[in-house]
């Protein structure tokens, strides 16, 4: 695993090295497919979320979508006003278990 970031490949390696997965005899290729499919499914489901809907992974966190209002922004280079349309913006809220890590 690299020191500054955790890549999907690193995550697959960590999953393959865990005791539970070793007992199931899951190959590295199978684990890679499972991790990729999980990430892809999560991304697709986040895109489908409505304003009051969310995806909660207990002990990890909550994914949701917030509606951003249309607004007028300023281009700092030209000082021109720019219209920014309304849009949906994904967010992640850290779960209680992860939040409490900084207190240990």
In the predicted model, is pLDDT for residue 2 greater than 60? Answer: no
Same domain, 63 and 104: yes
pTM: 0.72
Give the count of domains, the chain. 2
Does a structural domain hold residue 75?
A: yes
Same domain, 44 and 55: no
Per-residue pLDDT reduced to its tens digit, 9-48: 999 988 888 888 778 888 889 989 999 999 999 999 988 8
Q: How far apart are CA 86 and CA 84, in angstroms?
A: 7
Question: Which structural domain, as residue segments, surrounds residue 34?
Answer: 7-48
Three-state SS at 25:
coil
- pLDDT value for 104: 56
Q: How far apart are CA 31 and CA 9, in angstroms?
A: 10
- The backbone torsions φ and ψ at residue 7, rounded to the nearest 5 degrees and listed phi first, read -90, 170
Per-residue pLDDT reduced to its tens digit, 42-77: 999 988 888 788 999 988 899 999 989 999 999 999
Beta-sheet pairing, 87-94 with 71-74: unpaired
Does a structural domain hold residue 1?
A: no
Same domain, 33 and 76: no
């Amino acid at each position: 695993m690299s020191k500054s970031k955790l890549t999907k490949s690193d995550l697959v390696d960590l999953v393959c090295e865990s005791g539970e997965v070793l007992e199931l005899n899951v190959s590295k290729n199978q684990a890679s497919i499972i991790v990729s499919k999980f990430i892809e499914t999560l991304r697709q489901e986040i895109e489908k979320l409505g304003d009051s809907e969310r995806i909660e992974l207990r002990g990890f966190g909550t994914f949701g979508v917030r509606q951003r209002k249309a607004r007028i922004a300023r281009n700092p280079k030209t000082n021109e006003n720019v219209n920014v349309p309304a849009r949906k913006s994904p967010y992640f809220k850290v779960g209680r278990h992860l939040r409490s890590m900084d207190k240990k």
